[in-house]
């Protein structure tokens, strides 16, 4: 879902904050991944090729770790933490009440607070605080959303209006459509700048969510349908802190993704691919190549919104097709009778670190840039100080962001390797099963790096 345009919004804040515009050339690139490739010596095609090369070669290195026990031991390193039940219950209710209060404050300040995007509590809390900062905490620390989710708190207090059982044949597909729909709405509407529109979306989401939860039950709704809860659940599995039935445990980042063998439906693979594509799409529409393409297509009389919608759908189908081809091909390179459908569902958790790497690359800088303004506005939601500050990030930050994209893929290669050793016998068969997935991951890396190396261009017609 989300996705405000971080680079544009950061520039808006800097301008509104009244920062000295004499330093504009430096500021214009703040939080922009473009800076990392302004280095005149290394051309962007070489940077993209290098990223792909690093991911490909990392696969070759993983081929040296072929002992089942060692792979399991690495992924199972962890620590159980004690958490007394009374402390947990008290903490849970405190955070739940605070979360519901913050949601109410978002609605009120969105409607009656200062309407300037950079001084509005609702805009800053939703985009910088929640979608950037909080999401980072979910994969960097742990998934606290089930405890925090204000809609869940409210839904659990409301009576069921129906006790319909969720139709199994829908699987995860409604949440796939919901996720892609949310991102499309964010891209084509000014919801990242217009506080009243944002409140409108929040209220619409509230109505849909509460209705759904009271028809199918809160548990089913937030587990199977709600795209936001599902995004956080997947991101949370990459986190070092895991909240399980047996309590809290500490693991190596990402390794919880290979734990648990619960059967996953076909839609689950599609959901993770949709998450990957959604972040890519947001970056893609702000490249010069997209502007050229959109100009050409809209010039022939096609409505702009339709162009954005079709691009969203086509890109998703291409990403899903690449993944499905990789799974079907893996069956052959591994010389195995394991069904392609099983392979697709089995390897899907390995894609999560890629989505995480891409999210952190886009949003860490955005969050840090806006954090002083966020803190100031959170302290006084109805009367924010007139002179809001923005943090100026150092030049090397862009390189760090590129490193996150590559690191996400490296972790994905390792997890995929570990998953392969769980399902194919011997040592060579699991390694050979990975060839197609390595190609798919190199493809994803190069697309991501190409997008972030492009100069930011305002998405046209929206």
- Identify the three-state secondary structure at position 191: coil
Backbone angles phi, psi at 251, to 5 degrees: -130, 170
The only residue of 18, 24, 38, 57 in contact with another protein, by rule CB under 8 A: 57
Residues 108, 199: Cα–Cα separation, whole Å: 9
Identify which of residues 143 and 336 has a Cβ nearer to another protein in the complex. 336
- Strand 247-251 and strand 78-81: the pairing is antiparallel
Identify which of residues 164 and 428 has a Cβ nearer to another protein in the complex. 428
The only residue of 128, 258, 412, 420 in contact with another protein, by rule CB under 8 A: 258
DSSP string across 153-182: HHHHHSPPS--PPP-GGGTTHHHHHHHHHH
- Binding of residue 78 to another protein (CB under 8 A): no
The only residue of 26, 46, 90, 306 in contact with another protein, by rule CB under 8 A: 46
- Identify the three-state secondary structure at position 258: helix
Residues 251, 126: Cα–Cα separation, whole Å: 29
Q: Which of 348, 355, 173 is nearest to 267 (CA)?
A: 173
Question: Considering the complex, what minimum distance in angstroms separates the CB of residue 363 from another protein?
Answer: 30
Question: Considering the complex, what minimum distance in angstroms separates the CB of residue 453 from another protein?
Answer: 15
The only residue of 73, 425, 458, 461 in contact with another protein, by rule CB under 8 A: 425
Q: Which stretch binds another protein (CB under 8 A): 37-45, 245-253, 287-295, 358-366?
A: 37-45
Contact 17, 135 (CB under 8 A): no
Helix axes 266-284, 304-333, angle to 10 degrees: 130
Contact code string over 261-290 relative to another protein, x by CB under 8 A = x-----------------------------
Q: Which stretch binds another protein (CB under 8 A): 94-102, 299-307, 385-393, 427-435?
A: 427-435
297-356: which residues touch another protein (CB under 8 A)?
335-342, 346
**If DSSP states are collapsed to H, E and C, what string results for 88-136?**
HHHHHHHHHHHHHHHHHHHHHHHHHCCCCCCCCHHHHHHHHHHHHHHHH
Q: Which stretch binds another protein (CB under 8 A): 111-119, 124-132, 204-212, 421-429?
A: 421-429
- Binding of residue 68 to another protein (CB under 8 A): yes
Residue ranges that bind another protein, judged by CB under 8 A: 40-43, 46, 49-50, 53, 56-57, 60-61, 63-64, 66, 68, 72, 258-261, 335-342, 346, 422-423, 425-429, 431
């Amino acid at each position: 879902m989300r996705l405000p345009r971080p680079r544009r919004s950061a520039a808006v804040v800097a301008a509104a904050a009244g920062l000295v515009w004499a330093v504009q050339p430096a500021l214009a690139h703040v939080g922009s991944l473009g800076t990392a490739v302004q280095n005149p010596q290394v051309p962007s095609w070489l940077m993209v090729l290098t990223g792909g090369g690093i991911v490909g070669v990392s696969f070759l290195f993983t081929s040296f770790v072929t002992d089942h026990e060692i792979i399991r031991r690495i992924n199972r390193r962890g620590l159980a933490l004690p958490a007394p039940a009374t402390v947990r219950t008290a903490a849970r209710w405190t955070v739940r009440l605070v979360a519901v209060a913050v949601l109410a404050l978002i609605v009120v300040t969105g409607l009656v607070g200062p309407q300037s995007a950079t001084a509005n509590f609702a805009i800053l809390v939703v985009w910088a605080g929640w979608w950037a900062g909080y999401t980072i905490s979910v994969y960097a620390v742990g998934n606290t959303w089930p405890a925090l989710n204000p809609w869940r708190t409210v839904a659990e207090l409301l009576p069921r209006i129906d006790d319909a059982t969720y139709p199994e044949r829908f699987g995860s597909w409604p949440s796939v459509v919901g996720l892609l729909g949310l991102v499309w709405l964010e891209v084509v509407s000014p919801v990242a700048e217009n506080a009243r529109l944002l409140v409108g979306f929040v209220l619409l989401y509230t109505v849909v969510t509460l209705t759904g939860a009271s028809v199918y039950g809160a548990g089913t709704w937030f587990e199977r349908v709600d795209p936001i809860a599902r995004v956080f659940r997947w991101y949370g599995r990459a986190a070092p802190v895991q909240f399980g039935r047996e309590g809290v445990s500490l693991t190596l980042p990402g390794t919880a993704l290979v734990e648990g063998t619960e059967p996953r439906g076909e839609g689950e693979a599609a959901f993770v691919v949709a998450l990957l594509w959604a972040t890519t799409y947001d970056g893609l529409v702000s490249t010069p190549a997209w502007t050229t393409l959109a100009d050409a297509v809209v010039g022939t009389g096609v409505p702009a919104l339709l162009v954005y919608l079709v691009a969203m759908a086509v890109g998703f189908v291409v990403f899903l097709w690449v993944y499905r081809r990789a799974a079907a091909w893996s069956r052959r390179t591994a010389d195995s009778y394991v069904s392609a459908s099983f392979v697709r569902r089995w390897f899907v958790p390995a894609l999560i670190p890629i989505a995480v790497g891409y999210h952190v690359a886009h949003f860490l800088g955005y969050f840090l840039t806006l954090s002083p303004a966020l803190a100031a506005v959170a302290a006084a939601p109805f009367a924010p100080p007139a002179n809001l500050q923005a943090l100026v990030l150092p030049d090397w930050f862009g390189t760090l962001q590129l490193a996150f994209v590559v690191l996400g893929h490296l972790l994905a290669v390792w997890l995929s390797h570990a998953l392969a050793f769980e399902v194919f016998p011997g040592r060579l068969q699991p390694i050979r099963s990975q060839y197609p997935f390595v190609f798919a991951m190199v493809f994803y890396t190069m697309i991501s790096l190409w997008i972030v190396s492009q100069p930011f261009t305002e998405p046209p017609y929206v």
